[in-house]
A and B are shown apart, each in its own frame.
Chain A
Amino acid sequence: MSGPQHAAPRPSLAVWKFASCDGCQLTLLDCEDELMAVTDRVEIAYFLEASSAVVEGPYDLSLVEGSITTAVDAERIKEVRRQSRTLITIGACATAGGIQALRNFGDVEELLRIVYATPEFLSTLGTSTPISDHVEVDLELRGCPIDRRQLLEVIGAVLAGRKPAIGDHSVCVECKARHNTCVLVAHGTPCLGPVTHAGCGALCPSFHRGCYGCFGPSEGADIAAMTSVLRAQGMSEDEILRLFHTFNAWSEGFREPPVGPVPVALSPSRLSPSRLSPREDRP
């Protein structure tokens, strides 16, 4: 691959995709002001969103996006680990299984039947699991999607051989630092800020919206206390469960919030099968 010539070999960067929406790896290309500087310092050895050139491993730094949902991917991630000196998972899919981990609470066969007319064509596991369930992970970057500044901090830290400055406090801490009006206190808007991992800079409250937990649980989050607060705001048990069960539903903190019986299960079992007809022969 061409690029500016360097005397010393640059560290190599690889970006891997598993089940995901590509948003987290796109965050790297969204660093418009820094991207050229980054590519001067690292060799983009494998990043299919950006380049068709593929350099053989091993890689100094691997960024892994997405969750494990197929048997093939469960093997592939092991190979990625073997080839990577440092492996960092990026985003809620990779760190918690993502929105697609909602299947873990239901019956994947049912989901297949709803979406596809001929589910036999597909091979998929019954679960969507984070990368750390399968291989050792050196660092996790939270968020759906990850935060651009945090990504640059981590890449910079790995290149410099220092520890990245990524805190594990809650969104509330960032929110107060930003002098936002608290939407929970001032407007009674449900907000997961007290139990959500920092990193976004308290984005939602600054748009007068309650945090919906896209960075997953913060360290030592008191989910039971949060649940009581939400209940006191008038949310039903079902609504509270759904609030926790989005992009980080399978994270340990958000998986089983202490809610009472839920009337309408998130399982689609009561509903009809796919509207699709199986396809006839190719034209």
Chain B
Amino acid sequence: MTHKATGSRALSSDALARVEGEGAMRVEIRDGRVVDVQLNIYEPPRFFEGFLRGRGYTEPVDITARICGICPVAYQMSACTAIEDAVGVTVDGALRELRLLLYCGEWIESHALHIHFLHAPDFLGFDSAISLAAVDRAVVERGLEVKRIGNRILEVVGGRAIHPVNVKVGGFFRVPTTRELEPLRAELERGLELAVQVVDWVAGFDFPDQELGCELVAADHPTEYPMLADRVISDRGLDIAAAEWLDHIEEFQVPHSTALHARVLERGEYLVGPLARHHHHAEKLAPAAARAARDAGLEPSCVNPFRSIIVRAVEVVHAFETAIAVIDRWVRPAFAAVPVAPRPGVGHGVTEAPRGLLYHRYEIDDAGLIADAVIVPPTSQNQPTIEHDLWHFVEANIDLDDDELRRRAEVTIRNHDPCISCATHFLDLTVDRS
């Protein structure tokens, strides 16, 4: 939607084409050199951390889910973990297993959406999955089927796909019966088969060469490819408990964005998400996922952001296997939740959202109300890295015309699967070459 003008190329003149509420990118070029790249997130501020103060200690679970309609379970899981940490309760056994199952549903749903609706059309030269379907309906239908089965998990365990109603501090309101889980298992078997095909499909795309040089940060668990966890590691020596997060990670505000950014103290930008998870935990993938990764030629440490689509597809396979394993081990617990009583304290929660590590911290006062809340979503953490990545991309492609530059910059951003509001097809590009 940009139109060319001498020197600087201005924003679209059409009010409707201007996607306020989403994102924009500003590039400044002087004498053939990039001097500034800014990724603006216009997302109007919604003040979650502000109005969580004074709410009851059980409320962040449902309230923070509304931060993101694509990964509400991640918000619910990090919120539960942090609040349980604050009040000194541990949720394990069958209830933790059920949380894993629910989380698998969200990984499958969210990754299937990103792979088929946002990322694959970029590689294949389509503007959407809908136009891709006009040429190859079968691959889109397969993707929708994988996504649907992920949503089935969310519905059976959580009640609905978006903002599940069945999650609470301490566990669940109601645990599913074996009779409810059994038909789901049959669907998961089918989903697993399709997911392996999806890995094979995306592995055949053309991938430009690129390597990210930033620090890779992921949650850590001794035996599991991490979803629910309580430690954080990086490839540059970070190895901390969730409670030490604020001593090592700093959030900061930039003038051009309503999303806060984050960096490792004293070091700087870093990356969370599938590439970081896979780098640290590839050896913990379930058997079919590990096999699919090998067949796809995925290297154990892949830091090419374009190839993140393969990692996502492998993680979908892993999530199906994990979900099936949970159902096979399932013994219905006598209680849907462990009893939780409020007490004053501070708690921390880290879990792995589909797009990367999500940190919550709550301070609970003596009346059981939230005195302070800190939420650090994956996209805030990745934004400096995305800008850096864009910077290199623009520098290497400075001679492209604006339309092509914008199209490929969007792809660069979508590689990192930022939360939907900024992930979508949105980019208002301004190139200032004066």
Q: Do A and B bind each other?
A: yes
Residues of A within 8 A of B (CB): 1-4, 17-27, 29-30, 32-33, 35-36, 39, 44, 46, 48-54, 57, 66, 69-70, 72-73, 75-76, 79-80, 83, 98-100, 102-103, 106, 108, 110-112, 114-118, 121-122, 124, 144-145, 200, 203-204, 206-209, 212, 214, 239, 242, 246-247, 264-268, 271-272, 275-279, 282-283
B66 within 8 A of A: yes
Give which listed residue, A23, A115, A209, contacts B47 with CB less than 8 A.
Answer: A115
Report whether B70 and A209 are in contact in the complex, using a CB–CB cutoff of 8 Å: no
Report whether B45 and A50 are in contact in the complex, using a CB–CB cutoff of 8 Å: no
Question: Which A residue's beta carbon lies closest to that of B132?
Answer: A2
How near does chain A come to B371, taking the closest CB pair, in angstroms?
7
For chain B, residues 120 to 146, give those with C-beta under 8 angstroms from any C-beta of chain A. 127-131, 133-135, 137, 140-141, 144-145
Among A30, A83, A98, A214, max chain B CB count under 10 A is at: A30
Report whether B253 and A17 are in contact in the complex, using a CB–CB cutoff of 8 Å: no
Give the number of residue pairs across the A-B interface with Cβ within 8 Å.
233
Give which listed residue, A39, A76, A282, contacts B133 with CB less than 8 A.
Answer: A39
Among B16, B43, B50, max chain A CB count under 10 A is at: B50
Report if A2-B134 is in contact (Cβ < 8 Å); known contacts: A53-B128, A265-B54. yes
Question: Which B residue's beta carbon lies closest to that of A214?
Answer: B163
Report if A23-B163 is in contact (Cβ < 8 Å); known contacts: A29-B117, A30-B151, A207-B174. yes
Report whether A275 and B131 are in contact in the complex, using a CB–CB cutoff of 8 Å: no
How near does chain B come to A50, taking the closest CB pair, in angstroms?
6
For chain B, residues 14 to 52, give those with C-beta under 8 angstroms from any C-beta of chain A. 15-17, 19-22, 36, 43-51
Among A2, A75, A214, max chain B CB count under 10 A is at: A2
Report whether B131 and A51 are in contact in the complex, using a CB–CB cutoff of 8 Å: yes
Apart from the given pairs A52-B425, A112-B50, 19 other A-B contacts in the complex at a CB distance below 8 Å:
A23-B66, A23-B69, A29-B113, A32-B144, A39-B133, A69-B46, A72-B20, A75-B15, A76-B20, A103-B51, A106-B51, A111-B47, A144-B66, A242-B55, A268-B50, A268-B54, A276-B251, A277-B252, A279-B261
Question: Which A residue's beta carbon lies closest to that of B168?
Answer: A209
C-beta contact mask, B100-111 vs A, less than 8 Å → 1, else 0?
A: 000000000000
Question: Which A residue's beta carbon lies closest to that of B59?
Answer: A242
Contacts of B133 in A (CB 8 A): 36, 39
Report whether B69 and A26 are in contact in the complex, using a CB–CB cutoff of 8 Å: yes
Report if A279-B252 is in contact (Cβ < 8 Å); known contacts: A19-B46, A22-B70, A79-B15. yes
B339 within 8 A of A: no
Report whether B16 and A83 are in contact in the complex, using a CB–CB cutoff of 8 Å: yes
Give which listed residue, B46, B54, B426, contacts A100 with CB less than 8 A.
Answer: B46
Q: How far is the CA of A242 from the CA of B16 in the complex (A)?
A: 37
Contacts of B166 in A (CB 8 A): 207, 209
Which of B154-162, B212-220, B224-232, B272-280 lines the interface with chain A? B154-162
Q: How far is the CA of A24 from the CA of B144 in the complex (A)?
A: 18
B53 within 8 A of A: yes
Q: How far is the CA of A242 from the CA of B56 in the complex (A)?
A: 8
Report whether B254 and A279 are in contact in the complex, using a CB–CB cutoff of 8 Å: yes
- By size class, the interface of chain B is 35 or more
Contacts of A30 in B (CB 8 A): 147, 151, 161-162
Report whether B21 and A18 are in contact in the complex, using a CB–CB cutoff of 8 Å: yes
B336 within 8 A of A: yes
Residue pairs across A and B with Cβ atoms less than 8 A apart, 8 shown, are A23-B70, A26-B70, A26-B420, A44-B130, A100-B46, A103-B47, A207-B159, A264-B369
Report if A204-B131 is in contact (Cβ < 8 Å); known contacts: A69-B44, A111-B50, A246-B63. no
B1 within 8 A of A: yes
Report if A36-B144 is in contact (Cβ < 8 Å); known contacts: A79-B15, A144-B66, A208-B174. yes
Q: How far is the CA of A3 from the CA of B137 in the complex (A)?
A: 11
Q: How far is the CA of A204 from the CA of B424 in the complex (A)?
A: 32
Report whether A23 and B72 are in contact in the complex, using a CB–CB cutoff of 8 Å: yes
Give which listed residue, B50, B173, B252, B410, contacts A115 with CB less than 8 A.
Answer: B50
B165 within 8 A of A: yes
Among B45, B113, B133, B258, max chain A CB count under 10 A is at: B45
Q: How far is the CA of A237 from the CA of B98 in the complex (A)?
A: 34
B68 within 8 A of A: yes
Report whether A21 and B174 are in contact in the complex, using a CB–CB cutoff of 8 Å: no
Contacts of B59 in A (CB 8 A): 242
Question: Which B residue's beta carbon lies closest to that of A14?
Answer: B16
